[in-house]
Amino acid sequence: MRLFESKEARERRLYREAYASISHSLAVGVKSRHQRDIYLSWFASASAMAEEIAGSIACLRKTQDKRDQNQAALICQTLVMPMASVWFRSLDRSINPAADEKLRLRNAAMTAVITALGNISQEAVRDFLNLDIQYNHEANLEEAREKSGESENSSRYPALLISRLAAVTGFGDYIDWSKQTFPVTRDEDFVFVNTAKPYGELGYDLNGVIALEMSIPIFGAEIFRALSSARRND
């Protein structure tokens, strides 16, 4: 820890250093300038969101004192998944690809990202594709509710994402990803690792769920501002 550095300042520094390291890896590992700019915009938003919600999500808050740059990078790599889903949903509306092309584009992008970052685990691609199914399912429901004037919100995406955050911060996944099917449409459909402690050691993180529900749209919008700025600077 740097002299006189507050806990909050240290947390911000670690996420920014993690982003700088990720940026370097993408610069080396992704040859296409266009694709690299897209991936960088995802991670810029993910790291900024990590700074914002670090105190609101239990597994992040409780590991703050032990955080290092490696763990900060893993948190950013987890939070990049909703940012990628936001971007792909916009792309889908722009080019209206067939279902198999949607899957191909997502698989290729996430494979390129994790390979550039030195992670060759196909589980990371699987987790993104499954979470992307959940994200789009809930986004479709939200749009339908807005059109009908309904106000009910039954998002399960944040709880799934928090399971992954719990894993990278040392608490372990509480979702059994090898058995979980998507989209999850009812709470009863969650497949927990431990049914005696369904949401893990820390329990159901309501504050974390709310923080993610609020933050994902806000930081997702920053992706397009970053890309617009990058194009203007070309």
Residue 103: partners with Cβ closer than 8 Å, 6 or more residues away: 129
Q: What is the pLDDT along the chain (234 residues), one digit of tens a residue?
A: 456 788 889 999 999 999 999 999 999 999 999 999 999 999 999 999 999 999 999 999 999 999 999 999 999 999 999 999 999 999 999 999 999 999 999 999 999 999 999 876 788 899 999 999 999 999 999 988 888 877 666 789 999 999 999 999 999 999 999 999 999 999 999 999 999 999 999 999 999 999 999 999 999 999 998 787 766 666
How far is it, in rounded angstroms, from Cα 152 to Cα 102? 29
Q: Do residues 50 and 80 touch, judged by C-beta distance below 8 A?
A: no
Report DSSP state, residue 228.
H
* Residue 48 · residue 84 · CB < 8 Å: no
Q: What is the Cα 84 distance to its own chain's centre?
A: 8
Cβ atoms within 10 Å, residue 176: 13
Question: Residue 30 has what DSSP assignment?
Answer: -
Residue 232 is encoded by which pair of tokens? 């203007």
Residue 147's pLDDT is: 84
The whole-model pTM stands at: 0.93
Extract long-range pairs of 138-147: CB within 8 Å, 24+ residues apart. 138/183, 139/89
* Annotated domain spans of the chain: 7-232
Question: Residue with structure tokens 């893993």?
Answer: 74
